[in-house]
Amino acid sequence: MANVVVIGAGLGGLPAAYELRHLLPKEHTVTLVSDKSEFTFIPGLIQVAFNLKPLSHVQMGLAQLAQRHHLNWVSGQVTALDTTQQCLTIEGQEAIAYDYLLIATGASLAWDRVPGTGPHGGYTHSVCTPDHALEARQAWLDFLENPGPIVVGAAPGAGCFGPAYEFALIADQELRRRGLRDQAPITYVTPEPYAGHLGVSGVRQARELTAELMQERGIEVIDNATITAVEPQTVTLADGRQLPFHYAMILPAFQGAQFIREVPGLGDDKGFIPILPTQRHPEFANIYAAGVSVKLAQPDVTPVPIGLPKSGQMAEAMATAAAHNIAVDLKAINAKPQVPTLEALCFAEFGETGIAYIAAPVLPDPKTGKRKRSYAVRGPWVVWVKAAFEEYFMMKIRFGVGMPWYERLGLRSLFGLQLLKDVSSSAKTAAPGSESLVG
């Protein structure tokens, strides 16, 4: 019988493994491979960095989850992929053969593109991984003893901006709460063409609400900015400006995992994997991909290059579609293939208030340049909803649930989002980036 291997146990990979285990008969094996020992709800790491919650609140042990939900768990880093022999090399272990492969590795962090960035040998902090968040937390506690200027932002080529806004605005709230805000001016530096772009143009009210909030909080915004280097306590921009800091959090550009970049034809020059609408690789019929690891082109030409955001919700929808389609391939279910619509909802927590950004879909229709709907709304309810969703998601992970029908129904009823749909026969083989990709 088939061995379906999922690489990555994050917001896309673990739900995909759960979906596969639910859809496939017991004679098929679902193998989960990850170099992490714990599942981490990555959006919760900002709270960890500010010492507002312990890391354990957003983590669960993968070995226990795999055993409980009948997954074959392999702990280790993938160092090589042989698409001819259909096997993976895991560091320090024997090769693993696969019949189907679902790659949901997330991204590697391209710190080397901007000298001096990153917590490992650089001078800036990050909230991209658990160890980064813990290091950022210790640095934050030290900073509170000796406050000064803060620089928050993103490097050129970055496609994930929401955490940077959240970090800047929660820092503002925490400093005000301690009576330290007047000692710590905050500057937000971004390659976005304007505050509130977040890698997705044309979202109604996003620009106005975001800029208004940054102005209310006294946060200086430098947009269309290229960070060229970071030195101890100084961020340098391409226009020659130098920004002093006592604390800096800069999000990097992403790239694909190293093993993807080493397989001819698997990924592009940055290691992102091209996909058909069904999440299948166009050249390797038994390889699927989901989440940040896939190639989705930024449709806008901006003065400073930026990527397209791939939210956790998008990753989960892609992973669910991939799992469904593998089950169809294996004739485990009698159903039509599915595609993710790439309709996205982002809850951004900004202290005591927040902004919900909706883009349905993220990629506009290539013919009309329009979306079905896109808008932003602000209110304290966003903070409550985000906190509730975190608890709900962790409960799902604990109980081995992927993307249940009631979650899809709720998102559709409350926000008009349809995360998945059946694919037409013509869309199965449409070229990546075509209209069929986004429906």
Give the 3-state secondary structure of residue 113: helix
Residue tagged active-site, from 2, 48, 150, 160: 160
Residue 97, Cβ neighbours under 10 Å: how many? 13
What is the spatial distance between Cα 53 and Cα 212, in angstroms, rounded to a whole number?
A: 28
What is the spatial distance between Cα 55 and Cα 265, in angstroms, rounded to a whole number?
A: 38
Active-site annotation holds for 87 = no
Q: Which residue blocks in 146-235 are alpha helix, DSSP H? A: 162-177, 206-216
What is the spatial distance between Cα 64 and Cα 68, in angstroms, rounded to a whole number?
A: 6
Tell me the one-letter amino acid at 133. A
Pairing status of strand 59-61 against strand 38-40: antiparallel
CA distances from 188 to 54, 144, 306, 349 (A): 26, 19, 16, 16
| Number of residues that make up the chain | 439
What is the spatial distance between Cα 397 and Cα 400, in angstroms, rounded to a whole number?
A: 5
Closest CA to 104 of 400, 310, 360: 310
Residue tagged active-site, from 219, 317, 346, 411: 346
Q: How far is CA 401 from the centre of its chain?
A: 20
Active-site annotation holds for 160 = yes
Q: Phi/psi of residue 237, each to 5°?
A: -105, 165
Q: Which residues are known catalytic residues?
A: 160, 346
